[in-house]
Amino acid sequence: MDNQHKEILRRNRSAIIREIHDIKTIVYALEENGVITGNMLEDIMAESTPTDKKREMLNILPRRGTEAFDQFYEILVNNKEGSAADILKPELSKQRRAEEKRKLAAVRRTEAYNTPSVVTSPTDDDDDDDLPETWPDMNLLSGIVTVKVCEKSGQMYERFLSCNDSGKVYKHQSKPRGLALVINNEKFELARKNGCNLEDRHGTNIDQFTVDRLLEQLGYIVRIHEDSTAEKIQNTVNQFSQMDHTSYDSFVLFVLSHGESQSIYGVDGELVQKDKITGAFNGNNCQTLSGKPKLFFFQACQGQNVDPGAPIASAEPVISSSSSGSEPDNMELSLKKMKGLKLNKTTVDESRDDTVADVKTETSVPAGGDVFIASATIPDYLSWRNTMKGTWFIQAVGYIFQKFAHKDDINKLMTKVNRLVGRGRTDSGSMQVSTYESRLLKAFYFFPGLWLSSSETSAALSNIQSTS
């Protein structure tokens, strides 16, 4: 690679890192085209984060052959990383965009010719049979997070291009989509020292990994805060609410902790009111997110009641395998019969099936719209956590969002999450159902994999309208 090309890579290093979205695809394409070796590919992919992978790739490329720069450019163009490609060769940006528009027009004409008169919506619920019959399904919880992306054609692509601040679908085109804050509390030794009998939340690191990878692939800048006191939780939330979100189209917050009704525990055993967390981002307190969707996910219990489940009205009567004769809603006897379950502030028995309880906060809706709040369980009830595989709720969110976020809006996604969580059972037969509460004023789609600048969006939409 000549010195001029090396200088372009050096001078624009940060911008290239920021603009490349699918680093895995780019790296494998570089190896397939002989730009890098198999050992170099392994060195790049061994880095822990996508940003580190991009840095290592840019460390290696200047040492490759004279054609490496041009090949890198072509690989970026061919893999829908046009913004990054334009940084390398800005003089070709107009030509590249014109070619992309030409190809898009050809695709639209072909689709218009081949599309039958009756078209099934890509968001129809024709895929519920694909959901696991039981949850959690240990064969599916592999730890790998791979989000399906939207195609650059068809109804979802048109919806993505046409969404705007005045329409029926939230504008969600910014790159990155927005900031995402994850608050993960695992170790509660300080709480126990303060006289609050909260056990460590073993398995929450699995949830953190799932959420981190999921949000990253959905296009968010993820920031993780671990083992925060109640005061630090509120301070962190306030800090993020005061950030400038002008260039972002949404905000996401995940809280993973113990909880009580309407509150979340810090690792010091003190409580943070849930409405103070969500309220920090309402239109008055966070004006740069006004009119933009704000999504909150709370993994914690909302009380200490246990859901023993109920028979479906049309189903055959369920005969309990227990010989004690105790009624299922007898709280004291039900807790004694649970095998392998740890209840916050109650028992410290060792788990036999790696399933324990997270004490959870009640949903409290802040003033204003554009808010979506999802909770692991309904008010007054426990939620369950597998110490080896994570919580039922967060793992269901990860599974459903990976599989369906490319075609379903947030309400359909969470209905599927509820259905999946509701299929879970502990060894003693206890169940759980997650819940969500929407103050959204429009349909919200993540549009994973779709990235266009405002000028590209206008051009593509204009082309679609002219060819339809």
Nearest to 237 by CA among 200, 183, 284, 290: 183
Position of tokens 């549009």? 447
Please say if the pLDDT value at position 461 is more than 80: no
Domains 3-88 and 174-307+329-438 share a fold: no
Q: How would you classify the pairing of strands 263-265 and 271-273?
A: antiparallel
Q: For the segment 269-312, what is each residue's pLDDT rounded down to a tens digit?
A: 999 999 999 999 998 999 999 999 999 999 999 888 888 877 66
**pLDDT tens, position by position, 222-249:** 999 999 999 999 999 999 999 999 999 9
DSSP 114: H
Do 41 and 27 touch, CB atoms closer than 8 A? Answer: yes
CB 267 within 8 A of CB 308: no
The amino acid occupying position 421 is V
Confidence band of 359 (pLDDT split at 50, 70, 90): very low
45 near 53, Cβ under 8 Å? Answer: yes
Locate the domains of the chain by residue range.
3-88, 174-307+329-438
Cα(294)–Cα(298) distance, integer angstroms: 13
Q: How sure is the predictor about 128, in pLDDT bands with cuts at 50, 70 and 90?
A: low
Residue 345 has pLDDT above 70, yes or no: no
Which helix (H) or strand (E) segment holds residue 264: the answer is: strand 263-265
Structure tokens given for 5: 């090309």
Task: Label residue 193 by pLDDT band (50, 70, 90).
Answer: very high
Q: Is 90 exceeded by the pLDDT of residue 143?
A: no
State the pLDDT at residue 368: 65
For residue 190, pLDDT over 50 is answered with yes
Q: pTM (2 decimals)?
A: 0.64
**Architecture in CATH of 174-307+329-438:** 3-Layer(aba) Sandwich (3.40)
Structure tokens of 66?
């004279």
Calpha distance 153→401 (Å, rounded): 21
Whether residue 102 has pLDDT greater than 80:
no
DSSP label at residue 439: -
User: With pLDDT > 90 as the criterion, what percentage of the chain qualifies?
Assistant: 59
What average pLDDT is seen over the chain? 82
DSSP string, 124-180: SS--GGGS-SSBS-TTT--S--------SSHHHHHHHHH--TTSSB-----SS-EEE
- pLDDT single digits (tens) 366-421: 346 899 999 999 998 999 998 888 999 999 999 999 999 999 999 999 999 999 99
Q: Quick one: pLDDT band at residue 118, thresholds 50, 70, 90?
A: very low
Mean pLDDT of 143-153: 91
Task: Report the first-to-last Cα separation within the chain, whole angstroms.
Answer: 45
Q: Output 76 or 333, whichever has higher pLDDT.
A: 76
Superfamily of domain 3-88: Death Domain, Fas (1.10.533.10)
Q: Please tell me the predicted confidence (pLDDT) of residue 1.
A: 85
130: its two tokens:
């694909």
Instruction: Tell me the C-alpha distance between 206 and 386, whole Å.
Output: 10
